[in-house]
A and B are shown apart, each in its own frame.
Chain A
Amino acid sequence: MFDAYPPLTRRTLLARGAQVVACAAVAGQCSSAVVAAGRKERPSCRVWDVHTHLTGFPGTGKERARSLLKYADRVSIDRLIVFLGFSRMPSPSPKQFREDNDEVLRVLEAAPDRLFGFVYLNPNYVEESLRELDRCVRDGPMVGIKLWIALECNDPRLDPIAERAGQLKAVILQHAYWRTVPNLPNESHPGHVAELAARHPNVSFISAHSGNDWERGIRGVRAVQNVYTEVSGFDPTAGVVEMAVRELGAERVIYGSDAGGRSYASQLSKVLSADLSETERRLILGGNIERLLRPILTDKGIQL
C-alpha cells in the first residue's frame, strides 16, 4: 500500500535521497544527531531553496509565501530565497523594480527566519540599481542580488553593481540559459556569467539553471572558481548533479527549484537521486549557500 510509504524527512533526505522512503526518521533531529556523532565539521542539515518566486498560488504576497512554505514543509525544505515580486518584467523600469522589491520585502516579514530576499535590479539603470541595492541590502534585510534577462551580464554596465555587491558581501544570482535554439534577447548564458565573475574574483556568482543545457552550462563556468552552478528551473533530467559535482566539485553546486512555476519535488529530485556522499548532498542542499551568505548575515546580526 502506498500509504505505508513513510514521509520524506530532513534527516533521511540529506542522508540518502528519496530512497529514504524506506526509512523512518524524525524530522528536526538532524543537527543533534550530527553533533552527537562528533561530526560538527559537516555542513549544515538545513535545506535551502535559493530560487523561488511568488507565482503558482493566488492571493497577496504573504498568502503566496505561506503557500510556498506549506509545500516546502511537505518535502522538508527549511528556507527559501525569494525574488522578482509580482510583475516579472524582463527589463523593469526603476519604479517597477522598486515596487517588485517592496512586495518581496513585505513577504519576508511573513516568516523572517525562513524567507530571505534577493533584490531584483535592472543593469540598464545603473545608478538607480545601485540606490536600490543600498536600500534593500545595505539598509534592508535582503542578502543578495537577482539579475534576469535585462542585459547580457558580461556587459560593463554590470561592473559597478558587482563592485557594490562585493562591498556588501552580497551574492549575485544571474539567470543563465544556453539554448540550442536562439537565446531570448539580452538573455545571459553561463559563459557571460563566467566573464563577469572573472572580473570580480571577490564576489560570489550563482549561475542559475546550470544553463538548462547543462552539459554546456557546467563547462561554461568550470574555469572560474567564484561561480557556483544552481540546478533550478529545468526538467529533472538524470545525471546533471553527478556531472556538476564531477566537474566543479560539490562545493560549487547549489540546489534551487524555481518554484512555484516548477515543482520543489522535481527539482529536489536532481540532488536526491544523484549518487553522492552525505557530505556532498549536505553541501548542495544548504551548506554551500550558508557558507556564501554567512558573511552578510553576520554583518546583519543574523545567526544561522
Chain B
Amino acid sequence: MIIDVNVYLSRWPCRRLPLDETPRLVERMKKLGIGQAWVGSFDALLHRDIEGVNARLAAECAAWPAGLLVPFGAVNPMLPDWREDLRRCQEAYHMPGVRLHPNYHGYTLDDPICEELLQEAEARGLIVQLPLVMDDDRVRHPLLRVENVDPKPLPALIKAHPKLRFVILNGTRGGRPAAPLAGEKNVFYEFAMLEGVAGIEKLLRDVRFPVEQLLFGSHCPWYNLDSAVLKLQESELTGAQREAITHGNARRLLATGAGR
C-alpha cells in the first residue's frame, strides 16, 4: 500500500498528459500498488472561480471508492472572500487540507495575506500543502513564466505555526529540503523532484533528513507515476523506512488532523 501525497486531477494548461483522465490515473495507481492519492486540481493554477474548481475536485473524488482520492482544495487569498472558500473546503467538502499556489496566485510566503491564511488553516486544523514549483523553469512555457515559490520564509512560518502541518511538495530538487529543518516536526516533504542515483537513500543517510517526515510523492500526472515507485527500488532502504515513507507517515499525518 502506497499513499501518494502529490497528485493532480484535471488538465495541465498547455499539454495533454497520459494520465490526465481520472479513470486512467486510477488504473495506473492500482497497477503500481498506490492505494490512495492526495489530489489537488490543475485548474486551481489559473482559474479564478476557485469554488467551482473545488466543487469539481470534490465531486470527482467522491465518484471513486472512499479513501482512494483525497481532495485538497485550493484557496486563493488574493480573491475576495477567500475565507469562505477555506470554510467550504473543510465544512462542505470535508477536505483534510488545502493546497496553496502562491506563485500562481500572486503572493509570496512573507506576504501578510499568507500569514492570515495560515492562521485560519491552523485554527481549523487543516493540512497545508505547498508546491514550491510545478515544472522545470528552464523549459517552462514562454507564456507561463511563473516564478518558483521562494522558500526562504518557510522556516520562520513553520516555527510560527507549530500546530499547522505543512506538506512541502516539489521541494527536494536539490537533493535536500528546500528550506533547512531545525527540529520542527510539523513539516513534511515528499520526493517527486528528488534526483540523483539512490536519492532517497542519500537524503536519509547523508542529509540526515528524518524519515518520519518524508512522504511518497509522484507529481503525477505532470510526471509519470512510475518514477516515484522506481525511486523506492533504486535506493537501499530498510523495511521500516519503506513502511514509513510509503504510507506510515501519511496515515499518521492524516489521522492527527482535525480537518476530517
Contact = CB atoms under 8 A, between A and B. Distances in A.
A227 B16 CA distance: 26
A259 B227 contact: no
Contacts of B199: 263
A78 to B, nearest CB: 15
Contact of A18 (B15, B198, B226): B226
Nearest to B24: A275
A252 to B, nearest CB: 20
A273 B195 CA distance: 18
Contacts of B234: 71, 74-75, 263-265
Contacts, number: 143
A260 B196 CA distance: 5
A177 B138 CA distance: 10
Contact of A266 (B16, B32, B195): B195
Interface of B: 1-2, 15-19, 28, 31-33, 135-142, 145, 193-199, 220-227, 229-236, 239, 242-243, 246-247
A125 interface: no
Nearest to B233: A8
B231 A239 contact: no
Contacts of B18: 238-239, 242, 273-275
A295 interface: no
B138 A238 contact: no
Nearest to A4: B33
29 contacts: A2-B246, A5-B232, A18-B229, A19-B32, A21-B229, A22-B33, A57-B197, A68-B197, A75-B230, A75-B234, A180-B138, A180-B139, A180-B140, A180-B142, A212-B136, A234-B136, A237-B222, A260-B196, A260-B197, A262-B195, A263-B197, A263-B227, A265-B230, A265-B231, A265-B233, A266-B195, A266-B227, A272-B226, A274-B224
Given A3-B239, A264-B230, 11 more contacts: A3-B243, A18-B230, A67-B197, A180-B138, A235-B193, A238-B220, A260-B197, A265-B231, A265-B233, A266-B227, A270-B227
B224 A273 contact: yes
Contacts of A180: 138-142, 145
A16 B145 CA distance: 37
A105 interface: no
Contacts of B232: 2, 5
Contacts of B142: 180
B227 A236 contact: yes
B246 A269 contact: no
A18 B31 CA distance: 9
B196 A263 contact: yes
A23 B140 CA distance: 37
B38 to A, nearest CB: 18
Contacts of B17: 238-239
Contacts of A201: none
B197 A238 contact: no
B138 A212 contact: yes
Nearest to B202: A56
A304 interface: no
A181 interface: yes
Contact of A236 (B137, B140, B224): B224
A74 B32 CA distance: 18
Interface in A81-138: none
A36 interface: no
Nearest to B16: A239
A235 B33 contact: no
Contact of A2 (B137, B196, B235, B242): B242
